[in-house]
Each structure stands twice: as C-alpha cells, then as structure tokens.
Amino acid sequence: MKKYEYVNIEYSAKGAVFSYIEKHRDIIDSYADKGFRYVGFVPTEVGANGCIRKIDLIFEK
C-alpha cells in the first residue's frame, strides 16, 4: 500500500509583490533521502487576485 505525506508551503507577500522562495527544493531533497518520491502539488489557498498563496507538496512512498 502506498503512503502519502503532505508538506504545506506558504508564500509570504512583501507589499504587493511575492518573494521568491527556494525552500521547496530542500524539502523535496529531504524527502527523497527518506525514500519518498515527489509526485506534485495542490494549491491550498489562492488570493483574490488569483495568485497562489499556499501549496501542499505531495510525496509518495
């Protein structure tokens, strides 16, 4: 049976501009080291202007 884990990432706004993040790369590498495979992401919060504010990274083992 496959096991799934979800990691929530929040994009923080600086004024009207969202900051660039790279922490997802560290999270994906960390889960790969534990034997998980990155399978995708799901937006979990979208702002009024259509910008994605939060996502869940999905990992499978």
Q: 10-residue block means of pLDDT along the chain (61 residues)?
A: 93 63 88 97 91 92 96
d(CA 14, CA 12): 7
Sheet holding 37-46, edge to edge: 4-10, 52-60, 37-46
pLDDT, position 13:
63
Closest to 31 measured CA to CA, from 6, 53, 12: 6
Residue at token pair 């496959």: 2
pTM above 0.75, yes or no: yes
